[in-house]
């Protein structure tokens, strides 16, 4: 069966034919490709066509698909156990290893997704402060937690309204939304809701609505003003944690958030999330404290060993340094290609993340700075990349991911394909 036939069948059994919305290709058009296998930097479709993969499952595969060392550790654990629902040493090893890398990570709890990690961290923040409201930034994504599926409202300063059907206005009103890169708006929101805000949550490197790299002064300001008011600071490092550096953006920015959330790379391609931080806060979590949080498959041994093997290997080979260098080389070459073919887009990178965005003289730091015609240009480029055999995340607002499996040779080959695609569409 080909992708088209499989998608038709999928639409009969799943909403929109998918199990997570972006996979449906709605913003890039056409039928989503069905993949049957993956290895290193490559995906293979059910039709047998090979693609260089810059999506890498939206980040978890920092070593590439089915890294041989990770595969070995997974095969070994499969011979021992699949799930205990009881105490085991595997999560302890990963927890201790992570704690060693991150100076403010006093205690942590494993869960099964980034969403679950965020949801639990918010609960801890509310319990610790006795306050109800959470402040988030427009352009940051924190998973599909009800109270964070909100957009900036038009009423009171900062007050949010729901951005998804099924989220009650009451729940949405517990969240305040303010703009990135805007100290004044942030201060106004803080002052308008004195003594009501439990926590401010942010992606210290917003990477789920394009790549909206922030000024360090802005992040410092956000953190300092919150701390002065007894508001907890939650860094959502589900995408940046252990990817930008072992200590994530917190390390690069030299900031100690009160709580932090992780996911994606820490599971090495398996479903693992994590929240943690200050000891006094984490001791509020059951059974140590009064904040209930549990999970049948939490700290699943397969994810634990895959995660630990992934992180240890990154350390051993100094992966972050290589990834950053390779990504920078690729993006600067791609920018030359775009220029040569008069493509109205450019590419920016942070560490191993890159984003193809509309041409801009100034850095894009906020959602309202992304020109709206981007979708159309990206759509054409995306389709031609597919023809050439390069798979990008199927939306102009998603970032691209390099993995250690993207060797210089593979990147050169991808650049040639990008160049062909650019010439065809814009040349």
Ligand X SMILES: *Cc1c(COP(=O)(O)O)cnc(C)c1O
CB of 403 to ligand X, least distance (A): 16
Q: Which is nearer to ligand X, 273 or 319 (CB)?
A: 273
Q: Which is nearer to ligand X, 267 or 389 (CB)?
A: 267
Q: Which is nearer to ligand X, 239 or 367 (CB)?
A: 239
User: Which residue among 51, 141, 186, 262 is the active-site one?
Assistant: 141
Residues 6+ apart with CB under 8 A from 296: 85
Q: Is 182 known to be catalytic?
A: no
DSSP label at residue 65? B
User: Which residue among 236, 324, 379, 391 is the active-site one?
Assistant: 236
Q: Which is nearer to ligand X, 14 or 360 (CB)?
A: 14
Q: Which is nearer to ligand X, 212 or 405 (CB)?
A: 212
Q: Could you list the residues that contact ligand X (CB under 6 A)? A: 113-115, 118, 141-143, 203, 208, 236, 238-239, 263, 273
d(CA 344, CA 357): 9
CA–CA–CA angle 418, 420, 421 (5° rounding): 65
Q: Is 236 known to be catalytic?
A: yes
Tokens representing 116 are 């679950």
Q: Is 133 known to be catalytic?
A: no
d(CA 28, CA 112): 30
CB of 294 to ligand X, least distance (A): 17
β-strands 259-262, 353-358 pairing: unpaired
CB of 207 to ligand X, least distance (A): 6
CB of 40 to ligand X, least distance (A): 22
Distance of CA 272 to the CA centre of its chain: 13
CB of 116 to ligand X, least distance (A): 7
Is 124 buried (19+), middle (13-18) or exposed (0-12) by CB count in 10 A? buried
User: Which residue among 133, 136, 264, 417 is the active-site one?
Assistant: 264
Classify the phi-psi angles of 375: left when phi > 0, otherwise alpha if psi is within -120 to 50, otherwise beta.
alpha
Q: Nearest residue to ligand X, using CB?
A: 114
DSSP label at residue 57? G
Which letter, b or e, does each residue of 377-399 get, where b requires 16 or more Cβ atoms within 10 Å of its Cβ?
bbbbbbbbbbebbbbbbbbbbbb
What amino acid positions are annotated as catalytic residues?
141, 236, 264
């Amino acid at each position: 069966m080909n992708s088209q036939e499989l998608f038709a069948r999928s639409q009969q059994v799943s909403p929109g034919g998918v199990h997570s919305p972006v996979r449906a290709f709605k913003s890039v058009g056409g039928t989503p490709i069905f993949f049957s296998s993956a290895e290193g930097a490559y995906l293979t479709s059910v039709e047998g066509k090979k693609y260089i993969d810059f999506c890498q499952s939206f980040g978890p595969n920092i070593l590439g698909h089915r890294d041989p060392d990770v595969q070995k550790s997974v095969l070994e654990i499969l011979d021992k156990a699949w799930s205990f629902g009881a105490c085991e040493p595997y999560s302890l090893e990963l927890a201790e290893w992570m704690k060693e890398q991150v100076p403010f990570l006093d205690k942590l709890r494993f869960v099964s997704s980034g969403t679950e990690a965020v949801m639990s961290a918010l609960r801890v923040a509310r319990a610790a402060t006795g306050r109800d409201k959470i402040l988030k930034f427009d352009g940051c994504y924190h998973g599909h937690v009800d109270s964070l599926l909100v957009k900036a409202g038009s009423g009171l300063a900062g007050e949010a309204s729901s951005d998804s059907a099924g989220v009650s206005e009451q729940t949405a009103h517990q969240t305040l939304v303010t703009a990135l890169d805007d100290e004044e708006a942030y201060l106004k929101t803080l002052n308008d809701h004195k003594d009501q805000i439990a926590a401010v949550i942010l992606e210290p490197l917003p990477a789920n609505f394009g790549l909206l790299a922030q000024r360090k002064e802005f992040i410092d300001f956000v953190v300092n003003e919150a701390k002065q008011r007894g508001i907890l600071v939650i860094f959502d490092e589900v995408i940046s944690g252990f990817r930008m550096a072992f200590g994530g953006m917190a390390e690069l920015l030299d900031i100690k958030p009160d709580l932090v959330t992780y996911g994606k790379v820490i599971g090495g391609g398996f479903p693992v999330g994590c929240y943690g931080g200050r000891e006094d806060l984490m001791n509020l979590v059951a059974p140590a404290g009064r904040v209930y949080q549990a999970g049948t498959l939490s700290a699943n041994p397969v994810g634990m060993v895959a995660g630990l093997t992934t992180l240890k290997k990154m350390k051993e080979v100094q992966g972050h340094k290589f990834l950053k260098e390779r990504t920078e080389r690729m993006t600067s070459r791609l920018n030359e290609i775009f220029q040569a073919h008069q493509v109205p887009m450019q590419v920016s990178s942070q560490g191993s993340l890159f984003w193809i965005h509309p041409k801009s003289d100034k850095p894009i730091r906020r959602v309202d700075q992304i020109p709206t015609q981007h979708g159309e240009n990206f759509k054409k480029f995306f389709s031609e990349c597919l023809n050439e055999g390069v798979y990008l995340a199927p939306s102009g607002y998603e970032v691209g991911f390099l993995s250690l499996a993207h060797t210089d040779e593979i990147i050169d080959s991808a650049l040639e394909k990008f160049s062909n695609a650019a010439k065809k569409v814009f040349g």
